[in-house]
Amino acid sequence: MEDDKRTKIINAALEEFAENGFQRGSTNQIAKKAGIAKGMLFYYFNTKQELYNFLVGYCLDYVRENYLNKLDFSETDFIKRMNHTSLTKMQAYLQYPQIFNFLASIVLNQDEQYLPDDLLQELNTMYQVGTENLYKNIDTTLFRSDLPTEYVSKLLLWSIEGYQKELIAKLKGKNLGQLDFTPYWDEYAEFLELLRKIFYQNGGMK
């Protein structure tokens, strides 16, 4: 498949399935968005299911290469670890948002039921391992002693992920190639320091 045509088909399919799910996703719309004849789409992919399965594998490969494989879990300070994790994820998202939107739609639309067992297991394993690594070997002595450690880690995670979603919403539609990210990163650093003061021993001061 020609690279340009392949990219157009993939992006059109990711967008269509993210918006409408597997059942309501239209191959007519995918072909239209990709600027090709429907017959050409089925020349490359025999069925809608085959296309969908290909997209799942394609997205999992991207997430592994551009997000998960770049994470450093040797840092035991949870806020520092989350800082690195969220920035890496945001960079991967901004580079290819269609992939993350598509993967999120699988869960939201309960489309796991349409996946073959091997892909479903691969998807579940990726989520499970990612979550386990996020909380593994955390130095909980840094947390305030008057709060349950499991609550502190969850509150920190929810706060940082919520901030990340808000930031992505702010950046949506902007020309990222010409955007100065410095003010956004500075604001994010201030936000993390505030969390440190709220949830860490002695306001995060060692």
Where in the chain are the domains?
Answer: 56-204
Distance CA 164, CA 187 (A): 11
Whole-number percent of the chain with pLDDT over 70? 94
Closest CA to 97 of 182, 18, 200, 187: 18
3-state secondary structure 132-192: HHHHCCCCHHHECCCCCHHHHHHHHHHHHHHHHHHHHHHHCCCCHHHCCCHHHHHHHHHHH
139 phi, psi to nearest 5 deg: -85, 90
* Class of domain 56-204 (CATH, top level): mainly alpha
What is the structure's pLDDT at 10?
A: 95
Looking at residues 13-28, what average pLDDT do you find? Answer: 94
What is the structure's pLDDT at 1?
A: 57
pLDDT of 206 > 60? The answer is no
Q: pLDDT tens, 24-52?
A: 999 999 999 999 999 999 989 999 999 99
